[in-house]
Amino acid sequence: MLIKNTLTTVERFHVKIAVIILGHGSRCKGADTAVKRIATEIEKIGGYTTVQYAFLQYMQPTADEALERCIQQKVGKIVIVPFFLQPGTHVRKGIPDFVIQARKHYPNVDIVVTKSIGSHLLLAKIVFDLVNEKV
């Protein structure tokens, strides 16, 4: 395990927190593997009430279904992580529109979105490591 969560949910904000790893989706069988794997690893690290994965298109569960699963856990905060490398239409419009609607349906739940994973500087190290595997 590369990451260790040192704070429990209660220690964070005294609020039950859910995470949704939100990917694009694909018609290709098995294209959901990376998103599922990341969600499983985050869940193993712990500290969150629930960790869900979802897709905007073509695959299940949908963003709405993942949101409902989080709400059923009676969480006070939902953190959506866009599993996208580029800040395209889904990141700039689709996900923000989804969040606006979700906030209207669940005004007592704090629903927030992180930056997309493509904006994180650790991606440079990942690319470096992948190159060095082949050098």
Burial environment of residue 81 by CB neighbours within 10 A (0 to 12, 13 to 18, 19 or more): buried
Residue 6 has pLDDT above 90, yes or no: no
SS3 130: helix
Residue 96 has pLDDT above 90, yes or no: yes
- Average pLDDT of the residues in 27-55: 93
Assigned CATH class of 9-134: alpha beta
pLDDT tens per residue across span 55-71: 999 999 999 999 999 99
| d(C-alpha 31, C-alpha 102), whole Å | 26
- Average pLDDT of the residues in 90-119: 95
- Average pLDDT of the residues in 106-128: 95
| d(C-alpha 116, C-alpha 88), whole Å | 10
pLDDT, residue 10, reads 47
Residue 4 has pLDDT above 60, yes or no: no
Q: How confident is the model at residue 14 (pLDDT cuts 50, 70, 90)?
A: confident
Residue 1 has pLDDT above 60, yes or no: no
Q: How confident is the model at residue 13 (pLDDT cuts 50, 70, 90)?
A: low
